[in-house]
Amino acid sequence: MAGRLLLVCRLLVRDLRRRPTETVLLLAAIAAATGTLTLGLALNGIADRPYQRTRAATAGPDVVVEPPEVTGTQALTALAPLTTAPGVTGHSGPYPVAYLMLTARGKTVHAVVEGRDRAPATLDRPAVTGGTWVRPGGVVFERAFADALGVHTGDTVSVDGHSLRVDGTAVTAARAAYPRAGWRVPGTPFTDPGGLVWVDRGDIAALAGGSQSLSYTLNVKLADPAAHDAFGAVSSAALNTRSWQFIAEEDSALAKQARKTMLIGSWLLAALAVASVAGIVAGRVIGQRRRLGLLKAVGAGPAMVAAVHLAEYLVIGLAAAGIGLAAGWLAAPLLASPGGGFLGSVGAHPPALRTVVAATCFALVIAAAAALAPVVRAAITDTVHALADAASPPRRRGGRVRLSRRLPTALLIGVRINARRPRRARLAMVNTLITTTTLAAALMFQVQNRQETHIGPSELVNPDDERSYHAMLIVIVVLCVLALINAVVSTWSAVLDARHPLAVARTLGATPGQATAGLSAAQLLPAVPGVAAGIPAGIVLFLAASAGQIRYPPGVWWLATALGILLAVAALTAVPAIAAARRPVADTLRSTAS
């Protein structure tokens, strides 16, 4: 047993070392897909767990109650009976709240101003993340709000004309983070986006211009935190109640769009990775077949043959899973940073077991899916054929060969190269299809009205959009790199495979230029349907993933995108093609003769 294990390991290590480029390419392809998936899954938990942590750390209330339509003493009267209502085990407040305008760094925005005591409350004790808690004449910002405005401890801001110094930043579980703090349009039950700040209870009346215009908010703790529905029925219809579940939901909505982008992106990347791995594996099959035939000849059974072959891809898959997980997990905080309304951040904690298992399985499935077909084929192939050293002989596609007779030389060569290896041509098509789909979806995203959030008279960037945008950027960058790798690998293996027929064509009088153009054409021809199908596919994908009014980019843009992609493919394939065509014909014929 030890001997066999040694053998498997030895073959594995030697083979990986012998083909460092392919190994790295395989790793990169699988790791890219795994990393994107990890990022998507990480965003899933981004709002969830930190909210729970924040709620525990700040003694978050089970329910927050506000009378929306009354102010001053009327509001206090409306809230008073709730503190002794059945099922209520504790409360803090009522705290005065004013919906005012805050000006900082030249921007005037909606601010929910809450008056608090210096002493900690029994319920909802906002956790200070920077500076100090409220002092008279000072203001404490909800952290995400401070981030969005760019204010820091020690700055001066003005609230309805009153200058206040920024004492610190804090997070709370009693209100959703910016921009969902719930700024109430005075005199109405409607809310607008806005951020939360805390001031000293003594200061708030002056800021609001009189105590009669103050609203009040009451934090309540229930004997059964899940029974908030019953509590809502007890409190009168004139009161507005927000359960902690509702607040948590509001917060998680922040990352929803980005998460969707990442998940869709990871599926696209997975498809591309499979295409990529399949392309690389196909290039190795010739050598592998011989190896496996040899193993069979010296007495390796089918199980051993499969083990030797699969082990390699599984090891690459596992390594790629590790790299992808690490990369995805490290990148997650970058996407999460605008949502700093919570204690702790995503990256600081080890990824959930579920994420690790999912990402690892994902990577292994990609590796196995790509490697399985050759393994099965090798296991059932006649040993003698496997030893014969040749890849499956090119198939003849009579129809295409006849058709190509009428074409110009370059196209003729291109069509015939693809007719030799239809599977490779299909891979090239899938590659451009996925790339174009993603770019088309990104283009759609780009032309939508980027919603700057109106927070009062000034506009601030909507963190939701910002996050989706970042997610989209990551997906596109990774995807483009992968597509690039695919195109080069595909062309290079096409060049290697077509060397001999091209050399023969050149002895018959085809010029190096025609040979180069032929190789490029062989890659471009399948790319054309890929691009043609990819643009509508991208639009459909975008429509499926978004709601509301959709704007379409002008037709010229689509044309430019399509041409750009085709041009990129042509350029990428021209380099190896030129390198191959420059080689003297005799050398090629000699090295490929068997």
Partner 1 sequence: MTGSMVLRTRGLTRQYGRDSGLVRAVDEIDLDVPAGQALAIMGPSGCGKSTLLHLLGGLQRPTDGQVWLADHRIDTMSERALARLRRDSVGFVFQSFHLMDELTAVENVELAALLAGQSPRRARKRAMYLLDRVGLADRARHLPAELSGGQRQRVAIARALSNDPLVVLADEPTGNLDSAATVEVLRLFDEIRAAGQTLVVVTHDARIAAVADRMISMRDGAFADDSPLAGAGMAGTGSGRGSGTAAGAAAGTVYGGRR
| Residue with Cβ nearer partner 1 (383 or 592) | 383
Nearest approach in angstroms of CB 382 to partner 1 is 6
Q: What is the DSSP letter of 227?
A: G
Q: What is the rounded distance in angstroms from the CA atom of residue 22 to the CA atom of residue 236? A: 69
Bond prior to 94 in cis (omega within 30° of 0): yes
Of the candidate residues 294, 543, 560, 579, the single one contacting partner 1 (CB under 8 A): 294
Considering the rule CB under 8 A, would residue 302 count as an interface residue with partner 1?
yes
The count of residues interacting with partner 1 (CB under 8 A) is 31
Residue whose CB is less far from partner 1, 389 or 459: 389
Q: Bridge partners of 455?
A: 458
Give 469-483 as a 3 state SS string.
HHHHHHHHHHHHHHH
14 lines the binding site for partner 1 (CB under 8 A): yes
Place of tokens 């029994």: 122
Query: To the nearest whole angstrom, how small is the minimum distance from the Cβ of residue 277 to partner 1?
Result: 21
Sign of CA dihedral 334, 565, 431, 574: negative
DSSP code, position 180: B
Cβ 380 to partner 1, closest distance in Å? 9
Smallest gap from residue 27 Cβ to partner 1 (A) = 19
> Does the CA dihedral 479-481-485-490 come out positive or negative?
positive
What's the token pair of residue 419?
A: 């007719």
3 in contact with partner 1 (CB under 8 A): yes
CA atoms of 338 and 503, how far apart (whole Å): 58
- Letters for 362-401 (x = contact with partner 1 by CB under 8 A, - = none) are --------------------xxx--x-x------------
- The distance of closest approach from Cβ of residue 301 to partner 1 in the complex, given in angstroms and rounded to an integer, is 4
304 binds partner 1 (CB under 8 A): yes
Nearest approach, Cβ of residue 315 and partner 1 (Å): 16
The CA-to-CA distance between both ends of the chain, in Å, stands at: 38
What sign for the dihedral angle of Cα 502, 503, 509, 512?
Answer: positive
Q: Which stretch binds partner 1 (CB under 8 A): 9-17, 58-66, 185-193, 255-263?
A: 9-17
Q: List, in sequence order, every residue forming a beta bridge with 128; answer none if it has no partner.
A: 170
Stretch that binds partner 1, among 21-29, 243-251, 287-295, 523-531 (CB under 8 A): 287-295
Binders of partner 1 among residues 415 to 474 (CB under 8 A) are none
d(CA 252, CA 180): 11
Could you tell me the two tokens for 317?
A: 């898959």
15 vs 250 by CB, closer to partner 1: 15
Is 299 a residue that touches partner 1 (CB under 8 A)? yes
Q: Out of 295, 415, 482, 494, name the contact with partner 1 by CB under 8 A.
A: 295
291 contributes a contact to partner 1 by CB under 8 A? yes
Specify the 3-state DSSP secondary structure of 460. Answer: strand
Which residues are at the interface with partner 1 (CB under 8 A)? 1-4, 6-7, 10-11, 14-15, 17-18, 290-291, 293-304, 382-384, 387, 389
